Structures are given as structure tokens and as C-alpha cells.
Amino acid sequence: MKTMKGPGLFLAQFAGDAAPFDSLDTIGRWAASLGYKGVQIPSWDARLFDLARAAESDTYCDEVKGTLAQYGLSITELSTHLQGQLVAVHPAFDEAFDGFAVPEVRGNPKARQEWAVEQMKLGAKTSRRLGLSANVSFTGALAWPFVYPWPQRPAGLVETAFEELGKRWRPILDAYDEAGVDLCYEIHPGEDVHDGATFERFVDAVGGHARACINYDPSHFLLQQLDYLAFIDLYHERIKAFHVKDAEFNPNGRVGVYGGYEPWIDRAGRFRSLGDGQVDFSSIFSKLAQYDYDSWAVLEWECALKHPEDGAREGAEFIAAHIIRVTEKAFDDFAAGGTDEAANRRMLGLDR
């Protein structure tokens, strides 16, 4: 059995224009002061990281690793969530997602998609230069406007969407395979891949590609009322990254799963700081240990109520307390009889 690494911290929700959140050096020092051992870097945030430079320069990658190492930090994974989102965008969301791209490709869906694909491939090259084993991302979405079947979906609509999604992602996955890196999709509402059934469709669409993996985040499953523990049993072989994020679901007479267009504070389903929600993390960490998950446990902080700095401080302690240092021996080894094959046969009555 193997022990997972952590705690790690996803920096995206903390990066900003004010110190200590405005550079990799200062945000790294801050994270380490809270007890984090690793950081997940948002590859699009130029305040912290230069993806294009990293893809071509071992020297720059060594500088990045050295900046973090002085505080005892490792890089857990690169995040390419925003770029992955732009690999597949339904026209209904063109304007909303344009802000994820560089200005020169905004308003041009074809150019934006080409830019996103190139960004994803840079993520593969950079991950290899940094010595990382996984990258975390989104799949994007072509069929999401049709997630609820009213009006009735025409026959073949979903199949066509996933066929196209697979066609777009297969060359990217090949690039990650060449780099020796798993591409871990966050299973997330708003993406075409948002639960187990859609993940299976996607894996089929990319020909069962071995690099099509999962960034496991139970908060998105709780808000869908999906069994997040059974999900681990079903898909543990492809879980290669882990966002530790809490949530709660408290439906009432006004709102349920869909939220009634309410702000987060008034929705039945809300993201919460670790320990403040309803996710059974003791069982999650136990199951992941059972299945030999040995990568990082990374806090993704999102909460409708608590201040982010409090959430980060408490999150480091929470993850550290939940990581199971797996045992190297069975608890009943003290009673072992030291028998051999001949003794086993005698005990079974096979030599009479």
C-alpha cells in the first residue's frame, strides 16, 4: 500500500495583485507558512508562471522549482483548466468564455480553439520538463445546453457531440502520452464530462486512451447527489489527481439541485471550506488509501461564507490530519504461526 502526498494548495483562487499573492516566490512562502508541502500552479496566470517559456526552457523550469524548494514546496501539478475549457465551447457560451483566452483570439472561435489546443500541448511539454506525472484540466462542452432533455433531444445529438469532443482531445492526449504525463479531467457540471456516465462516453470517444484520467473532486458529485464513494470504487484506476473540496446540499421548498439562478449564498448546493460541509472525507481518504492512490491531496478552496485565508489555514491542517500513513504490516501479524506449504496442506487435511 502507498501513502498519498500532501497537503497541497491550488493557487488559482489566491493569486492576486497584492502581496503576498502577486508572485510565485511570495505566495509560495505564504503557503509554506501554513503547512503546505506542494502547490498546484494555474498555468494561465502570468503573475505566477510563464507557460510558453517553461515549455522551452529547462533553466526557467529549474528556477521555478528552486523558488518553491527554498520553502520546502514541490509542484503538485500544472492546471490548464481555462485552456481546456476552450478546446470545446458551444456557441451559446462564446462571449462568456472569451475572457479565458488571450486578447488576440477573442471573438474568433476557430482561432481561440487553436490557441487552446496549443496551450494544452505546451502544458504537456512543460509538465515533462518539470518532472510532473499529471496535469489537471477541463474537457470543455458542446452538449451542455442540452443536459436536460427538454425539448426532446434529437437522436444522435449526444453521440455526435462526444464524437467531436473525442476528435479534438485525442491529439492532445497523444501529446501527453509522449510526454509521459496523465491528463486528469475535473468531472464538473458545465463540462460535457460531468459524471461517471459522461466520463465513460468520453473514454470511449478517445479510444480508451490510457492518459484520459480523473481529477477527483467530491464537491461536484455531492451537488449532483451522485455517490462520490462508489465513484472511487468504479474509477479508481483512472483517478490520478485529487482536489480536496467540501460542499453542502440543503434543498428546501424554493431551491434544489438547479439552484433557481440564486447567488451561491442562497443555493441549496454550496461549496464550503474544508470541514464545514457534508463531504465524508474520512471515507474518501480511506478508499483512496485502499486503492493505493499515492499522488497529491490538493486543497481547492471555494466557499460562500468563509474568508479564503482562513480556509487555506484550516485546509492545510484538515488535509494533514486526514492523510493516512498506510501500514507496512497486518495488525494481526503478532499471531502469525510461521507455517509453510506443508503445514498448510496438513491444516486443510489434504495429506490424509
Instruction: For the chain, count helices (H), then strands (E).
Output: 13, 10
Q: What is the pLDDT of residue 78?
A: 98
Which residue from 247, 231, 251 is spatially nearest to 239, judged by alpha carbons?
231
What are the tens digits of pLDDT across the range 201-224?
A: 999 999 999 999 999 999 999 999
Q: What is the pLDDT of residue 332?
A: 64
C-alpha cell at 1: 500500500
Q: What is the pLDDT of residue 313?
A: 98
What are the tens digits of pLDDT across the range 112-149?
A: 999 999 999 999 999 999 999 999 999 999 999 999 99
What are the tens digits of pLDDT across the range 88-115?
A: 999 999 999 999 999 999 999 999 999 9
Contact (Cβ atoms closer than 8 angstroms) between residue 124 and residue 177: no
SS3 state of residue 134:
strand
Contact (Cβ atoms closer than 8 angstroms) between residue 313 and residue 34: yes
Contact (Cβ atoms closer than 8 angstroms) between residue 200 and residue 237: no
C-alpha cell at 58: 529547462
Q: What phi and psi, each to the nearest 5 degrees, are found at residue 10?
A: -80, 125
Alpha helices (runs of H) in 70-193, residue ranges in sequence order? 81-85, 94-97, 109-130, 157-179
Q: What is the pLDDT of residue 293?
A: 98
CA dihedral sign of residues 223, 225, 230, 231: negative
Domain covering 5-347 assigned CATH 3.20.20.150 in the classification: yes
Q: What phi and psi, each to the nearest 5 degrees, are found at residue 139?
A: -90, -20
What are the tens digits of pLDDT across the range 304-337?
A: 999 999 999 999 999 999 999 998 777 666 667 6
CA distance 231 to 218: 9
What are the tens digits of pLDDT across the range 225-265?
A: 999 999 999 999 999 999 999 999 999 999 999 999 999 99
Domain map (residue ranges) of the chain: 5-347
- Number of residues that make up the chain: 352
What are the tens digits of pLDDT across the range 13-66?
A: 999 999 999 999 999 999 999 999 999 999 999 999 999 999 999 999 999 999
How would you classify the pairing of strands 269-272 and 246-249? antiparallel
Residue 352 confidence (pLDDT) above 80: no
Minimum mean pLDDT among 38-42, 75-79, 161-165, 333-337: which range?
A: 333-337
For residue 243, give the H/E element and its range: strand 239-244
Q: What is the pLDDT of residue 6?
A: 96
Q: What are the Cα distances from residue 307, in Å, to 12, 164, 313?
A: 15, 41, 10
